[in-house]
């Protein structure tokens, strides 16, 4: 069945160095899944925290389902992530270190189930961001030059 992307967090790659990635399940209510199937979600400022041996995703906005009733969900509620105990322990230890954060990278369907790709991230400094932009510009110019060369 494969994967179907719901949304991704482009900002995360600009703001952080992603050192390791984890795939986690997510605990959702019925109307949340229906809203995600309609392609509605926003993970702009979302982050994950390890608390009490569990991982929770905060600030993931899933708008209420259009055809829902009074049982519709709260769009910004914290959602529990489903990970193996060993992974949770590893993430807890790493996030206690200075500068590390757990950032969701993308939200997608995999074999009918909603999955979140989490990144163990270390914050970038301003000069790191500038360097990345320079490298992107350089790659773009190089690709443009090669394209021009092949045309002529």
pLDDT band at 98 (very low <50, low <70, confident <90, very high): confident
Domains of the chain: 3-124 (2.40.280.10)
DSSP state of 144: H
Mean pLDDT of 111-119: 92
Classify residue 121 as exposed, middle or buried by CB count within 10 Å of its CB (0-12, 13-18, 19+).
Answer: buried
pTM of the model: 0.77
pLDDT for 1 equals 60
């Amino acid at each position: 069945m494969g994967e179907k992307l719901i949304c991704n967090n482009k900002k995360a790659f600009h703001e952080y160095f992603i050192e390791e990635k984890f795939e986690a399940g997510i605990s959702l209510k019925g109307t949340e899944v229906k809203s995600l199937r309609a392609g509605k979600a926003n993970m702009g400022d979302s982050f994950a925290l390890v608390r009490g041996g569990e991982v929770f995703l905060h600030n993931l906005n899933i708008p209420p389902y259009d055809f829902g009733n009074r049982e519709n969900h709260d769009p910004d509620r914290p959602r529990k992530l489903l990970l193996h105990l060993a992974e949770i322990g590893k993430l807890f230890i790493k996030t206690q270190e200075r500068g590390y954060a757990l950032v969701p990278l993308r939200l997608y369907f995999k074999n009918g189930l909603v999955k979140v790709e989490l990144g163990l991230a270390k914050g970038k400094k301003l000069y790191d961001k500038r360097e990345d932009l320079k490298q992107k510009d350089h790659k773009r110019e190089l690709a443009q030059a090669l394209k021009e060369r092949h045309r002529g």
